[in-house]
Amino acid sequence: MVYKTDELHIYEKKVLKAFESLGFSLKPEKIAKKQKMDIKAVMSAAGSLESKNLVKIHRKTDYLIRLNDEGLKYAKEGLPERRLLNYLLEKKSIKMKDLFRESPFEKKDINIGIGWLKKKNCIKIKKGVLEVTKKCEKFIDKDFEDEKLLKELLKKEEIWYSSLTKDLKKGYELLKNRGLLDIKEKTTHVLEITEEGKKLLDEGLEIIEEATQVTHEDLKSGRWKRLKYRPYDIFVEYPKIYPGKTHPLRDIIEEIRKIFISMGFKESRGPIVESAFWNFDSLFQPQDHAAREMQDTFYLKNPKICDLPDEKLVKKVKDVHEHGGSTGSEGWGYKWDISIAKKPVLRTHTTCISARFLFENKPPVKMFSIGRVFRRETITYKHLPEFHQVEGIIASKDVTFRDLLGTLREFYKKLGFEVRFRPAYFPYTYLSTECEIYLPEKGSWIELGGAGMFRPEVLEPLGIKTPVAAFGLGIERLAMIKLGIDDIRMLYRSNIEWLRKNPLVKGIKLS
């Protein structure tokens, strides 16, 4: 694109004009001094001229290197590996256990020294005996690369990276990786006029002060007629705007909330710190169940115990666990321990909210809850120790397992998924099923949660005499599918680029 001189801002003209008298390759500071401009104004104009191919900006980055406190200590006292090497040369060889017991060095310095001497191929360890290698003999009276730079920095205090020799640059990498340097980055600029810029200069540049705004006095006095105005370019590029918006995971949670509300469910909430009684015992989960173990559940040190609810309820739960109550079940056939039930945990599922709700509210009811749950999971691309779950129940004398399947099918349909069910096992439901949705692009089904009819052993202590359909569904996996991501950790990373690319408002369709 060819630019005319009257299309340029006055600062752009001033920068170009400087090349006319000072040469074709200039530092911004020199232009600022010549044209009596602020350096920021020069760089702003240069950036605009570069986008118009009238000026080329050459950038050069250098690093000012200094020793930090730990580096200064090593420069004065010697690196741990050097002090250890000198000690080993006196001993010839030494057992590892004797080294830690007899040497004058701290355990930390010994570990650091051994690690770096191994990296520098200066020692070998065989059957617990540490010896100096022949390869290291040349370093007895010769400095390592990092030692050379340490000595230089001790003498000069600070050095520019560009001035380092090849050996010192190797030492720089070693010391930087060890965190012994204080590094400051500095970028310098050189502006060079292009052939297009020279042509524009040859045409002649007239620098006239331009009006950036018209005042009341300008209008009143008629001065506005004599002012020089810069042409307004309606095709000029504009910066992208990224307004504030809710997180994509929060959008999906709100979408799920609106779906259940539209289906006639009432929302409920419960505490994150829960007693083992509500989290496990009330749901007929035996006290020796694998899910209760420390590797699956977060137990709290404080508070040490939780208060339990109504004594009658506790007694009924105990009886169901030990003998099955009056349900016709044999229970689990063990001696139920109230002290285990009092242990505080971070809830492992939101099903405990359903148990509480049924105890406090009599059927008919339709309830759902959305909340965070916690499990001792290793963090991977598909597992987190903390995630969201949506839980729900339908309690009515007429509710059936078929009603449960129909409800879940309708829920997933509103989210835009095809769903199927397959048999499953859960301690607190029977019949039980797992929900799976189909992913056409992958040609496979993925499991998203469990559901079933609460067992009589769960309902009897709570005083519920009607059937109760229950479900618990994971939200993060749904979010991954809807957002098109393969790593669950992305939902919790501060990846500003990914967050910006997601739509401002996600449509919620309630069919």
Q: Which residues belong to the annotated binding site for L-phenylalanine?
A: 351, 389-391, 428, 454
Strand partners, 395: 365, 468
**């779950």: which residue's tokens?**
389
Query: What is the full DSSP assignment across 193-246?
Result: E-HHHHHHHHH-------BS---HHHHHHTGGGT--BPPP-TT-----------
Which one, of 49, 2, 1, 15, lies nearest residue 205 by Cα?
Answer: 15
3-class DSSP state for residue 350? coil
Task: Tell me the CB-side half-sphere exposure of residue 208, using CA atoms within 13 A.
Answer: 12
Give long-range contacts, CB 8 A cutoff, 24+ apart: 293-301: 294/376, 295/376, 296/348, 296/375, 296/376, 297/345, 297/346, 297/348, 297/375, 297/376, 298/345, 298/346, 298/374, 298/375, 298/376, 298/385, 299/343, 299/344, 299/345, 300/273, 300/344, 300/345, 300/346
Query: Which H/E stretch holds residue 394?
Result: strand 386-395
3-class DSSP state for residue 324? coil
- Between the alpha carbon of residue 447 and those of residues 48, 205, 434, 438, the distances in Å are 54, 70, 7, 9
Q: Where are the beta strands (DSSP E) in 123-205?
A: 123-126, 129-132, 158-160, 181-193
Strand partners, 125: 130
The token pair at 325 is 């109550």
Q: Encode burial over 193-211: b for 16+ CB neighbours within 10 A, e otherwise.
A: bbebbeebbeeeeeeeeee
**For strand 344-346 and strand 273-275, is the pairing parallel, antiparallel, or unpaired?**
antiparallel
Strand partners, 365: 395
Q: How far apart are the first and last CA of the chain?
A: 52
Phi, psi of 161 (to 5 degrees): -60, -40
Annotated binding site: 351, 389-391, 428, 454
Phi, psi of 468 (to 5 degrees): -130, 120
Q: Other CB atoms closer than 10 Å to residue 67's CB: what's the count?
A: 21
C-alpha span between 484 and 479 (Å, rounded): 8
C-alpha span between 145 and 122 (Å, rounded): 14
Residue 457 contacts residue 320 (beta carbons within 8 Å): yes
C-alpha span between 292 and 205 (Å, rounded): 81
The token pair at 400 is 């059936």
Give me the sign of the Cα torsion angle 376, 344, 365, 317: positive
